[in-house]
Amino acid sequence: MLIDETFQPSDIEHLVDVENATASRQIFCDPGIWRMELQRIFTRTWLFVGHASEIPKAGDYVTRLMGNDPVILVRDAGGEIRVLHNSCTHRGSLVCRGTSGNARGFTCPYHGWVFDNSGAIRATAMDDALYKQHTDYHHFDLKRARVGTYGDLIFATWNDDAISLDDYLGDARWYLDIMFHRTPEGMEVLGAPHRWVSTNNWKLGPMNFGADGPHAVKVHGPITDATFAGGNARQMLRDALIESPSVSMGNGHNGIWTQAPEAFPPFLGWEPALIELFQKTLKPEQLQLMQRAVASVSTIFPNFSWVQGPASFEPATKMPTTFLAIRNWQPIAHDRTEIWNWFMVEKEASEAFKEEAKRMGIRTFSAGGTFDQDDAEAWHSIQRGVEGEIGRTLDVSFEMALAYRDRALVDFPGPGTAYPSNYAEVTEFDVLVEWQRYMTCKIDWAR
Ligand code: FES
Ligand code: FE
């Protein structure tokens, strides 16, 4: 039976069993649930839409998605960052067909209505005959989403009642600072996002990045052997994953910090000038976590994630370079996800480092990246396995969480709740626990 759009919170409560750390497979294969997610999550939470370095000048814009709504992220003529619904207020056409550019405004291709880059209506067809005289002209402005920024990270929400972005990010800000505010000038994007469609439910990505330690050695084993020198790379990775912390940052934001074995040098994969800037910019506790991190993988609920790690494809002769990928998991259907993936780098990095960081990112986490190829196949096979008539009646398991959820680390340097292993499954499951809170309307400001 499909759950239809009228279902009540009580109809969905049982789909995530918090106590036993399991979830119904139905949440990955039901079009009615996907539709309800768009309403109950994607129109209510803060959503990541871009980085300030993508729109540095007045008039710069990029087009994005908020749930299944197209939007324009634009810096208006006065320098203010706007997120405009990309749908003409006349009959609904997209007003911007491009993916990026610089524009004083947007002219609808259907009947030619004109909007400036703040979203304000400037002209309609036959203005003098009707619109300017007989209506409140500005009710034709493009719908504007509420915008929030944390440093250069730009988020937006349709929800006027949503808590502030600062409160929404909460403890995650301490970790976001390690990733995006670790040098005085901050980060910049390395080009436009790559986009591709994977044949799976959108939640598999945020869960995996929230994060799934155990899959790394199995799914990514061959590429691990190829990109780390020495014959015991997989074993070293497995040991590191088992012994490294996973962190619940609160509000559904979760991730892992995989710590390098003792034999590895600190700050593996960075150029020395950047390391000096990290040491000047970050707090000692943040440096403690970052300097030994060979992988940082996290999700900001619901669909923004990052992955960072050092990579070399000639491990015998070339030291690794650290890449940082950020991504949105766009829920385009119950069984389709459009992945938007950017690369970021410190503004102060040398051109050579930037080039290599981008190259390592593209070769690992992108449409053609080795790691994404691995994951795409695994996630496609999950979708096939869960959506049959028998498959959807069963559960998925996160029961390792039962062994770890009461074992919070007491000496962890960061905020939130940390657990002693990337294998703990607590934080990955926590993404679904938060999902359930939205879907059952348990969050006051998101009702
Ligand atoms: Fe845009 Fe008519 S739909 S001008
Ligand atoms: Fe993976």
Q: Is the peptide bond before 302 cis (omega within 30 degrees of 0)?
A: yes
Residue 204 and residue 246: Cα distance in Å, rounded?
A: 18
Q: Which residues of 238-266 are buried (b: 16+ CB within 10 A; e: fewer)?
A: bebbbebbbbbbbbbbbbbbbbbeeeeee
- Tell which residue, 57, 66, 70, 58, has the closest CA to residue 148: 66
Closest ligand to 131 CA?
1
- Tell which residue, 344, 345, 338, 256, has the closest CA to residue 303: 338
C-alpha 297 – ligand 2 centre gap (Å) = 10
C-alpha 257 – ligand 2 centre gap (Å) = 14
Each residue's pLDDT, cut to its tens digit, for the chain (447 residues) gives 445 556 677 788 999 999 999 999 999 999 999 999 999 999 999 999 999 999 999 999 999 999 999 999 999 999 999 999 999 999 999 999 999 999 999 999 999 999 999 999 998 887 766 666 656 788 899 999 999 999 999 999 999 999 999 999 999 999 999 999 999 999 999 999 999 999 999 999 999 999 999 999 899 988 887 776 556 777 888 899 999 999 999 999 999 999 998 888 999 999 999 999 999 999 999 999 999 999 999 999 999 999 999 998 888 888 999 999 999 999 999 999 999 999 999 999 999 999 999 999 999 999 999 999 999 999 999 999 999 999 999 999 999 999 999 999 999 999 999 999 999 999 999 999 999 999 999 999 998
C-alpha 126 – ligand 1 centre gap (Å) = 12
Q: Which of 84, 90, 96 to mutate to test the pocket of ligand 1 (most atoms within 8 A of CB)?
A: 90
Residue 222 and residue 241: Cα distance in Å, rounded?
A: 16
Closest ligand to 305 CA?
2
Atom of ligand 1 nearest to the CA of 89: 1
CA distances from 106 to 51, 132, 341 (A): 21, 19, 26
Closest ligand to 94 CA?
1
C-alpha 111 – ligand 1 centre gap (Å) = 5
Ligand 1 contacts (CB < 6 A) are 88, 90-91, 93, 108, 110-113
Atom of ligand 1 nearest to the CA of 91: 3
C-alpha 122 – ligand 1 centre gap (Å) = 13
Instruction: Report helix, strand or coil for 265.
Output: coil
Instruction: Report helix, strand or coil for 345.
Output: strand
Residue 330 and residue 430: Cα distance in Å, rounded?
A: 20
Tell me the domains of the chain and their CATH numbers: 47-167 (2.102.10.10), 184-439 (3.90.380.10)
- Tell which residue, 328, 330, 350, 346, has the closest CA to residue 338: 330
CA distances from 104 to 16, 117, 120 (A): 48, 5, 11
Neighbours of ion ligand 2 (CB under 5 A): 375
* pLDDT value of position 230: 59
Look up residue 263 and give its two tokens.
């034999």
- β-bridge partners, 169: none
φ/ψ region of 325 (left if φ > 0, alpha if ψ in -120 to 50, else beta) reads: beta
Instruction: Report helix, strand or coil for 281.
Output: helix
Record the pTM: 0.96
Q: Is the peptide bond before 120 cis (omega within 30 degrees of 0)?
A: no
Position of tokens 């436009």? 192
Look up residue 320 and give its two tokens.
């690794």
Atom of ligand 1 nearest to the CA of 93: 3
Smallest CA separation from ligand 1 atom 4, residue: 111
* pLDDT value of position 162: 97
Closest ligand to 125 CA?
1
